[in-house]
A and B are shown apart, each in its own frame.
Chain A
Amino acid sequence: MKRTIVVQRNDPNADTAANERKLAELKELAHAADYVVVGSLVQSRYPDRKYQIGRGKVDELAELVEALEAEKVIFNNQLSTTQIYNISETCKCEVMDRFQLILEIFAARATTRRAKLQVELAKLQYELPKAKAIVSLLKKEERPGFMGLGGYEDSYEQDIKKRIVRIRTELLHSSKGSELLRTFRHERGFSLVALAGYTNAGKSTLFQSLVEEGTIVEDMLFTTLSPTTRSLTINQRKMLLTDTVGFIEDLPHWMVDAFRSTLDEIFLADIILLVVDMSDPVDVIRQKLVVSHDIFWKRTEGAVIVTALNKTDLIPDEDLQKKLEVISYLAPAPVMISARSGEGLGELKQLLYENLPKWEHCMISVPMSEEGMSMVSWLYDEGIVHTIEYGDSILMEIEARDEIIQKVKPFAISY
């Protein structure tokens, strides 16, 4: 485990609580990437062009690196190529920023080819503006005109661009596959439920409690990078529950785009189960909910949002009520749960059931024959059979999605 120092430059007049939260998040991210945070440094000032933080503060940082024997410095602010170079020259150790750290975590966790491609895409998109800077620096040396060095191809930048296009095409092809799978699942009568929420809110624990199956659960950011899907049946309605990657504050839009297909599981679901960690301070919960709403805005396609207020076992009832009052305008269809103790899960399942796409009720009378019997077994597979009476004909009360009802319409007695 590498020893590291985290650094943050705050804008003057910025919210102190928000700054502290950002720094805490950076530390958690570093922990998730297997670093040991041995020290931190904060400065309040406007950005310095050469070092991001002030020149004097960089010297202080260099001393701290030496004293604490740190091998790496991680900045919360985005650094330019020159800034990384200048700081690492002074501190004599590796320097990276928050985005590189997130990419490092993603790269380490990516297991499927698709996830690996997405990580590479995000890396390349991060590299692209830097490649432009490098090329323009090189071009300064170039002498134009006859016998000059001209014809300098921006090959580095071009290579990156070409690779980006190739990866995008490949991702597009593979996303068509998952699109087909999604339609197929819908046709088979599965409703899609996606677990969404801020990273470390307890989505994987809830997932495990709901489907009673082992997924990796750790107290760490980004445990789930590739979505995991399992089936779940509530009151005979089948649904597919998907655990997805956690949201994170200040994630640049290109990074959200790069991981779009992972998030697509959320955006194309019938129900979004938004998980919130209620043990956080109330302004942190509020901020995280705002980030989640920001991500949902314009992207969800008619999905119902159900908010699971998790980790209620960790706080007294009185505090819980106060918090709920403050955040209620950001929490659609809220339900209090504790994924660990199982409290409130019954209520949550009921709420999910109520918000599933509506199925129609129908009374049908099927002739007592071989075909009739095969129809009965088909209806047991595709829908819910509420009552069945065998007589001269088979009288059934069924509940199913629209396509199924249309198929059995000739046998209908009443709706």
Chain B
Amino acid sequence: MFPIIAVDISGRHRINQGYYMVCAAVAVNVSASHIESVSQIAVKPFLVSSAPDIADVVSIIETTVAEINYPGTIILEHGDLYNQPEWLSQRMFSREFKYQESLSERLAIEFAHHVSLSSRNLLMKELGID
């Protein structure tokens, strides 16, 4: 089994005057094709006024992952880092980082996606923003 931290950010599009983003990081233990156990989940909201660039995305991810008290490689989808090549992206993070590869890593990212999307929907509803 391998410890990983799968991360996903929802809401990278403009609504009214800003970008209401929610980042979710899930720390899970995975085998090659399945999630075996979930250790911790961290969810953090972010609001910025201009479109997030790659440095913003990295800082959002680092801030959220800092909440996780668990070892593991950060796993992301290519698109989340604007399809930057892996060797370049690796240098931007302080922890170990790689793009999704195995079925379980994809599953974990899907898991993080559901967490971030539903948290964001809830937040938008509470704030009365549509």
Contacts and interface: CB of A to CB of B under 8 A. Distances in A.
B85 A329 contact: no
A235 interface: no
B33 A297 contact: no
Nearest to B103: A293
Contacts of B103: 293, 296-297, 305, 332
B106 A297 contact: yes
Interface in B6-37: 30-34
B101 interface: yes
B2 A332 contact: no
B39 interface: no
Contacts of B34: 332
A330 to B, nearest CB: 5
A330 B102 contact: yes
A328 interface: yes
Interface residues of B, number: 12
A396 interface: no
Interface in A307-361: 307, 328-333
Contacts of A289: 101-102
A223 to B, nearest CB: 27
Contact of A332 (B31, B85, B101, B106): B31
Nearest to B107: A297
Interface in B43-93: 85
A27 B32 CA distance: 32
Contacts of A307: 32
Q: Which of B30, B34, B101 has the most CB of A within 10 A?
A: B101
Contacts of B102: 289-290, 293, 329-330
Question: Which size bracket describes the interface of A in this complex?
Answer: 10 to 19
Nearest to B30: A329
B55 to A, nearest CB: 20
Which of A296, A305, A329, A331 has the most B CB atoms < 10 Å from its CB? A329
A52 to B, nearest CB: 22
Nearest to B31: A332
Contacts of A333: 32
A377 interface: no
B83 to A, nearest CB: 13
Contacts of B85: 13
Contacts of A328: 32
17 contacts: A286-B101, A289-B101, A293-B101, A293-B103, A293-B106, A296-B103, A328-B32, A329-B101, A329-B102, A330-B32, A330-B101, A330-B102, A331-B32, A332-B32, A332-B33, A332-B103, A333-B32
Nearest to B2: A329
A249 to B, nearest CB: 14
A329 B106 contact: no
A331 B103 CA distance: 10
Ranked 4 nearest A-B pairs via Cβ: A332-B32, A332-B33, A290-B101, A330-B102
A85 to B, nearest CB: 31
Given A289-B102, A328-B32, A333-B32, 20 more contacts: A286-B101, A289-B101, A290-B101, A290-B102, A293-B101, A293-B103, A293-B106, A297-B103, A297-B106, A305-B32, A305-B103, A329-B32, A329-B101, A329-B102, A330-B32, A331-B32, A332-B31, A332-B33, A332-B34, A332-B103
Contacts of B30: 329
Contacts of A286: 101
Interface in A245-294: 286, 289-290, 293
B3 to A, nearest CB: 11
Contacts of B106: 293, 297
A331 B2 CA distance: 12
Contacts of A290: 101-102
